[in-house]
Amino acid sequence: MTDDDRIWLEGLKAGENEHWKSLWFRVIVPEVKAKKNSELMRRYSLTDGDLNGMLFADMVGRGKFDLYRGEGSLEGWLRKYVRGYILNADPMKHGEISIEGAYDDGEGGSEAMEIPKTDNRAIFAEAWRMTLWCFRKLWNEDPVRCYIHVLKTRYFMSSKEICDMLELSSPANVDQIFSRSIKFMRELASRF
């Protein structure tokens, strides 16, 4: 650990504003600007202030600064924590969503939390059942067409590869059969 890191660490442990401001610009801002992180933060409604608060609560409140052993840079070690907060923000990974303090409870004239009216898991399950039903109908209609559809959409094989594998006349023929399978499935889905 360098002397600069040691001084910075002591200042962060003490909760000094200038050191936490430096942490903001050296650690949190670069992580927030990373494309993948910013997309995840937008998806999970996470702000850079939330990250700073979580980092402060863990490092100062829970004393996790003591876990830093001086291996590597302090900045890199803190960035790893921030990335972990972003990746673990997915409420579906934990089996439950904590809503304490996340929304006003409607007391004091404020607006109450709105409960979701759609169940995305049920919609996904229904879409999956519909897809399987369409594949079963397509299989019964023409197994080769179903094979081509699966190989193109699921295994991302090229028309040339499929042509060679199924011993068809040309890649153009594969594309034509694939477009017919798409049309067939759309017609099935439009009935409902």
Q: Under DSSP, is residue 185 helix (H, G, I), strand (E, B) or coil? A: helix
* Residue 74 confidence (pLDDT): 79
Q: Under DSSP, is residue 173 helix (H, G, I), strand (E, B) or coil? A: helix
* Residue 170 confidence (pLDDT): 92
DSSP 33-88: HSHHHHHHHHHTT--HHHHHHHHHIIIIIS-GGGG--S-S-HHHHHHHHHHHHHHT
Q: Whose CA is closest to 88, among 36, 120, 30, 41?
A: 41
* Residue 18 confidence (pLDDT): 83
Q: Are the beta carbons of 22 and 8 closer than 8 angstroms?
A: yes
Q: Are the beta carbons of 149 and 138 closer than 8 angstroms?
A: yes
* Residue 95 confidence (pLDDT): 46
Q: How many Å apart are CA 149 and CA 138, to the nearest integer?
A: 9
* Residue 92 confidence (pLDDT): 61
Residue whose pair of structure tokens reads 């990250």 in the numeric block: 51
Per-residue pLDDT in tens (0 to 9) along the chain, 192 residues: 677 777 877 887 777 778 788 878 888 888 888 888 788 778 777 787 877 787 777 777 777 777 777 777 778 888 887 878 777 776 666 544 445 545 455 555 556 556 667 777 888 888 888 888 888 888 999 999 998 988 888 888 899 999 999 999 999 999 999 999 888 888 887 886
The sign of the CA dihedral 85, 89, 94, 96 is: positive
* Residue 29 confidence (pLDDT): 83
Q: Whose CA is closest to 59, among 11, 95, 115?
A: 11
* Residue 86 confidence (pLDDT): 76
